[in-house]
Amino acid sequence: MVALCVFDAYGTLFDVDAAARVAAGEPGGATLADHWPRLSADWRRKQLEYTWLRSLAGAHVDFWQVTQDALDWALDAAGLQDAGLRARLLDLYRRLDPFPEVPEVLRDLQGQGVRLAILSNGSQAMLADAVASAGLDGVFDAVLSVDDVGIFKPAPVVYDMVGARFGTASADVLFVSSNGWDICSGAAYGFRTLWVNRAGAPMDRLHGAPDHMARDLRALPDLIGGL
């Protein structure tokens, strides 16, 4: 059985659409009612694009700055110039909801004696807020941030952090991500992999392919028990 399971955070454990969805449902959120799905999609797309472009350019900033820059682009694209809305969306992003199955799945894995870790583009401060607000303090053996290497995924040096922290070979790690580009890169790196394909997206045509695919995390305890 694989003894270490490493999770991507945003989109895998934490619902990146939650900030815009929650804000749209709050009093005064009527301006978002027709915009939030597109706004959230633009925000996420630009957030990822900026990580890749900054990595290529050697112009690293932390993920919180990238998140703010991406939101500003998305708000401009939606024609929403509202400082109060911007502040509210960023506040909600610091404490995104976990996907519904996440707490129970993590408890099941802990019960099997599996070590758990996060490997994320998120800054240490962002990840600490997300883990605490989701009630997951004490669940993870490590929360690894690209802050420590100064470049975003899928740079191999990010995946190197797992072996450096745990002393494990890549083949002894199950890496779990909802991002197709991330899971393909993790597979090429040598991790065993589970793609949590929540959106039902087609497979990315990249330099690796995941070993397993599921629509959410519920099958993970049974899967990892058989590895």
- Whether 8 sits among the annotated catalytic residues: the reply is yes
Domain end, chosen from 56, 73, 93, is at 93
> Looking at the structure, do residues 103 and 215 belong to the same domain, yes or no?
yes
Predicted model pTM:
0.97
Residue 1, pLDDT above cutoff 80: no
Q: Are residues 10 and 22 in the same domain?
A: no
The CATH number that applies at residue 25 is: 1.10.150.240
- Give the pLDDT score at 141: 98
pLDDT tier, 81 (very low <50, low <70, confident <90, very high otherwise): confident
Q: Do residue 208 and residue 117 come from a single domain?
A: yes
Overall number of domains in the chain: 2
Final residue in a domain of this structure, among 77, 93, 109: 93
Instruction: Give the CATH number of the domain where residue 102 resides.
Output: 3.40.50.1000
Whether pLDDT at 111 is above 80: yes
Catalytic residue among 8, 15, 97, 108: 8
Same domain, residue pair 108 and 220: yes
Q: Of the candidates 54, 76, 93, which is a domain's last residue?
A: 93
In this structure, the answer to whether residues 33 and 84 fall within a common structural domain is yes
Dist CA 189 CA 115 (whole Å): 20
| Contact partners, residue 119, CB within 8 Å, separation at least 6 | 6, 7, 8, 144, 158, 159, 161, 162, 175
Range of the domain at 54: 18-93
